[in-house]
Structure 1
Amino acid sequence: MKLDVKMEMLKFCFTVLNSVFLVLGLSVMGCGIWILFDTGSFLNVLSSEELQVVAVGLFIIGGVVALVSLTGCTGAALEKRFLLLVYFCFLIALVLGQLFVTILLLLKRDEIDSTLTQTVNNIIGQYGNSSSRADIIMDNVQHYTKCCGINGPDDWLKNAFIQTLNLTSGNLLPCSCFLSFQPSINSPWCLETNNTNVTVSGTGHGIFNESCRKKMNQWLKDNFITIVAMAAILILIQIFGLFFAGSLFRMFGEKGALKKNKRLVGEDGADSDSEPDPDGGEQNCAFMDPDEGAPEPNYMTAGDANNMADQYNQNQEYQEPFHYNQNQNQEPFHYNQNQNQEPLHFNQNQSYHGYQEASQHY
C-alpha cells in the first residue's frame, strides 16, 4: 500500500477518534461545572475538600482534553509534526492525570461517604432556623428521592427546634418527608396527626420511612461507576490516539524526506547537459547507432578479422590443402585476386586493414 493511502486512512481514523475524544472531554468538563456551580446539587453544600478537588479536577481535565483533541485534529489536517508532538506529550500527561484522579476516587470512597453522612447530620440539626440553601437542597433530596432522615424519620428528633418541643415520637417532620402535605405559612414543618403543642405546622399524609443514607449511597455508587467508566473510556481512546499520532508523525517525516529528495534530484537534472525524455522511458544502452561509430552485432570488427587470419594460418600448417571436391583431381584452392568475385564488404566506419592484409598474403 502506498504511503499516501496509508496516511489518508490514518488521518481519517485519527480525526474520528479525536471527535469522540472531544465529546467525552466536554462531558467530563460538564460534570465538573455541574458539581461546582449547580445550586441544586447536593454536593454544592459539602465542605469536603476532596470532593471540591475532584470537581475542579474534572473541570480542568475536561477542558484540557477538548483543547488537546483540537490540537491533534489541526496537526493532522495541516500535516504539522510539531502540533502532533505537542498533542502526543499532552496526551501522555492526560493519561497520567486521569489515572491519578480515578485512583483518588477509589481510595477516598469511604471518606466521601463518611463526609456525606456528617454533612447531612449537620443539616438536620440546623434545619428550620433559616431558609438557607442547605434546607432547600435537603427538602429536594427527601421529596424527589422519597426518603426521610439520614437513617430514618427518627433522625429528625436531633433537630434543635424539635428538641425544644420535647416530642417523643417523630410525628413532626419536614413537609418534604410526606407523600402529600399541606404546608402552613412560613413553616417547613408538617404533622401527620394534630398536636396542640405545635401551633405552627402544616399537615401531611404518608411518611417516607426509607432512609436517605441508602439513597445517597446508591447515588454515590451510580456516579462513581459513571465517572470511572468515563475515565476508562477516555484512557482507552487516548492510547489509540497515541498510536495514531506516532504513526502520522513518522509518515509525515517520510513524506517530507521524499519531497526533499525529489527536489534535489530535480536540481541535479537541471544542471546536467542532457535531460532524459520524460515520455521516452529509460535509455536503452544495449544497441548503439552504427553511424555514431559503435559496432552493430552483425558487423565484424578488425580484431575479429585478425583472429580469423591467424587461425587460418595455423590450419594451413597442419592440414591438407582445401579442395572443393576431394574426389576430383583439382588444384588446391587459392585466392585469386583476378577472379571476378565480389570483395568482402565491411561497414564503412569499420577498419578492416588487418583482414585485407591477411587475404592478400594468401
Structure 2
Amino acid sequence: MGCITKLGLFVLNFAIFAAGVAVVTLASIIINKDNSYGELLVESGVFTLPIIILIAGLVIVIIGFLGCCGAMKESSCMLKTYAAIVTVLLLGEITLAILLLIYPQKAENLIKKEMLGAFKKYGADDPSLDKTIDSIQHDLECCGVNNYTDWKEEIPWGSGQNVSKGCCKEMEEDCGMNIFDKSPSQIENTIYTQGCYEALKEDLKSETIALGVVLFLMAIVQVMAVSCACGLSRKSSHYA
C-alpha cells in the first residue's frame, strides 16, 4: 500500500496543518506590515487578497487538523469527504494561481486603480486618511501611485500645482506647494518621485515570495494527501 497508511496520511495532514499556520502567519505579517498603511489599504481594497489568503490559511489549518483525526479513525465516509474538500480547495488555489499568471497586468492595474481612488480622497475631510497617505509616501520615499505626476494629472487636491507634504524629503507644511513650477532638478531635490505602488510592492517583496513558496509546497502536499485519503478509503471499504 506504500503511503496508503494511517501514519502516512497523518504525517501529510500535519504538514498541511503546518503549512496552513505558515500561510496565516505570512498573510498576517503582510496585513500588519505597518499599522500606518491600514487606512489606505482598507480604502483602496489592497487588503482584499491578503485577507482572502488569511481566511484560506485558517480553513487549511482546520482541514489539516480534521484530516489528522480522520486518518486515525480510518472512516471511509470521513476520508472521502475530506478528499473532496481538499480537492475543491486545491482546484481553487490552482485557478487563482493561473489567473494571476495569465492576467498579472490586469491585477496590477486594478490595484493601482483602487489605490489611486484612495489618493483622490486626499483633502476631502478625512484627516486620518490624509495622515496615512502622507506617512506612507514619506516612509516609503514615494509620491503618488504611479509617480509624482499623479498629483498633477489625477488627484484633484492641489489644483495641478501641488503635491502633499508626505512627498517632500523634508516634510514641512506647504513644502509641496507649486512644485510643478520648479525645474526637474529642483523637483528631484525637493520631493520623492517614485510611485507608491512600486515602493509598496518592493517593501512587501520578501513576504510575498515566501508566501508563494509555501503555497506551492502546500499544493504538492495536498495532492499527496488526496491520493492517500482515497487509497485508505478504498482499503477501509474493502475491510468493512
**What's the TM-score, normalizing by structure 2?**
0.71
Deviation at 1:236, TM superposition (A): 0.3
Q: What is aligned with 1:129?
A: 124
Compared with structure 1, are the counterparts of its residues 144 and 80 closer, same or farther at alpha carbon in structure 2 (3 Å cutoff)? same
Residue aligning to 2:59: 64
Where does residue 240 of structure 1 map in the other structure? 224
Q: Using the alignment, how far apart are the partners of 1:237 and 1:108 within structure 2?
A: 26
Larger radius of gyration: 1
Report matched runs for 1:25-174 at 5 Å: 25-29=20-24, 31=27, 40-41=37-38, 42-46=40-44, 52=48, 54=49, 57-158=52-153, 159-163=155-159, 167=161, 173-174=163-164
**Following TM superposition, by how much is the alpha carbon of 1:56 offset from its aligned partner in structure 2, in angstroms?**
6.1
1:149–1:74: structure 2 CA closer, same or farther, 3 Å change rule? same
| Structure 1 or 2: more helix by fraction | 2
State the partner residue of 1:178.
Answer: 168
- The 3 A distance-change label for structure 1 pair 83 and 121 is closer
- Structure with higher strand content: 1
Task: Give the AA of the match of 1:238.
Answer: Q
One-letter identity of the residue aligned with 1:229: V
Out of 249, 269, 272, the residue aligned to residue 233 of structure 2 is 249
CA contact (8 A) 1:152 1:212 kept: yes
Query: C-alpha offsets along residues 23-66 of structure 1, whole Å, 9 cap, x if unaligned?
Result: 32244456389759x88344422258xx84x5564355333322
Q: Distance in 2 between matches of 1:128 and 1:233?
A: 45
Distance 1:62 1:151, change over 3 A: closer
| 1:201-212 → structure 2 map (5 Å cutoff) | 207-212=191-196
Once the two structures are TM-superposed, the CA of residue 235 in structure 1 deviates from its matched residue by: 1.4
Of the three residues 150, 172, 175, the one matched with 1:191 is 175
Q: 1:220 Cα shift? A: 7.7
Contact 2:30/2:204 (8 A) holds in 1: no
TM-score (norm 1): 0.50
2:233 is matched by which residue type in structure 1?
F
More relative contact order in 1 or in 2 (CA 8 Å, sep 6+)?
Answer: 2
Query: Residues 90, 129 of structure 1: CA spacing in aligned structure 2 closer, same or farther, 3 A cutoff?
Result: closer
Structure 1 unaligned regions, length at least 5: 184-188, 196-204, 258-362
What secondary structure does 2:37 align onto?
A: coil
CA distance in 2, matches of 1:40, 1:216: 10
Among the aligned pairs, what percent are the same residue?
Answer: 22
SS of 1:153's partner is: coil
The CA deviation at 1:238 is 0.6
- C-alpha distance 119-136 of structure 1, shift in aligned 2 (>3 A): farther
Deviations 1:294-347 (A, max 9, x none): xxxxxxxxxxxxxxxxxxxxxxxxxxxxxxxxxxxxxxxxxxxxxxxxxxxxxx
The alpha-carbon distance between structure 1 residues 155 and 32, as it changes in their structure 2 partners (threshold 3 A), is same
Q: Distance in 2 between matches of 1:32 and 1:150?
A: 24
Structure 2: gaps spanning 5 or more residues: 180-188
